[in-house]
């Protein structure tokens, strides 16, 4: 466990190095090297764990060690290539910390920062698909916060914007944004998102949901006018 003084030092020195780096070049500096090594060791540990849930638990345990560095880069960074930062974006999604993942994602999309090669997808596609999958898992839980998840998807859509990606991925984003809005009792908003999902991918599996929402909205209108 790092002391508050150590965390402050790491954040400040990471911010200084990130601010001095040029966009697109490889991030360097003491803190980057230390955290890149820590990430290498963390990956070695994760490879020894077979259970997916146990891997997630280990990432949740390890993430705080990287946060001072991440916060430093986000505060002053100019968009240097940073595999530590981009890996932590994915880890944050894995553990359900969507807010921090979106903060990193917004920075990465703004500066066109690539993800490490092992992820095999571009940054915006990873952010879009993994956030959607993460929200999907949260919606399946009985104690989920529908309003919070709808806000997560709204931010994801705003960050993604008109970025070029496979229609199937963008359809998935609109699908789970729609499901989150439906859970948050916004049928009109949900219907709009599901229709967008269907327009992008006819096999996205929302046709019955659209019909149900249309009936729900019609019935509510009939009752209001009665």
88-107 tens-digit pLDDT: 999 999 999 999 999 999 99
pLDDT for 108 = 94
This prediction has a pTM of: 0.90
pLDDT for 226 = 59
C-alpha to C-alpha distance for 205 and 217, rounded to whole angstroms: 20
31-70 tens-digit pLDDT: 999 999 999 999 999 999 999 999 999 999 999 999 999 9
Least Cα distance to 83 among 134, 22, 40, 126 occurs for 40
**Tokens standing for residue 116:** 């490490």
- Asked if 35 contacts 90 with a C-beta cutoff of 8 angstroms, the reply is no
């Amino acid at each position: 466990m790092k002391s508050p003084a150590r965390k402050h030092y790491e954040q400040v020195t990471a911010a200084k190095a990130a601010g001095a780096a040029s966009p697109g070049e490889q991030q360097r500096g003491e803190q980057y090297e230390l955290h890149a090594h820590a990430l290498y060791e963390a990956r070695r540990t994760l490879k020894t764990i077979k259970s997916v849930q146990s891997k997630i638990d280990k990432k949740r345990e390890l993430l705080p060690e990287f946060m001072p560095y991440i916060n430093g880069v986000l505060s002053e960074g100019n968009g240097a290539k940073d595999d530590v930062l981009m890996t932590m974006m994915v880890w944050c999604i894995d553990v359900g910390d969507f807010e921090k993942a979106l903060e990193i994602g917004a920075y990465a999309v703004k500066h066109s920062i690539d993800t490490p090669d092992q992820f095999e997808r571009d940054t915006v596609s990873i952010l879009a698909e993994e956030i959607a999958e993460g929200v999907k898992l949260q919606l399946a839980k009985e104690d989920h916060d529908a309003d919070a998840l709808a806000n997560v998807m709204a931010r994801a859509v705003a960050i993604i914007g008109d970025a070029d990606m496979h229609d199937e991925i963008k359809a998935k984003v609109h699908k789970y944004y729609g499901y989150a809005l439906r859970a948050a009792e916004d049928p009109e908003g949900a219907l709009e998102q599901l229709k967008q999902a269907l327009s992008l991918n006819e096999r996205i599996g929302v046709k019955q949901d659209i019909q149900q929402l249309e009936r729900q909205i019609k019935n509510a209108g009939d009752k209001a006018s009665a």
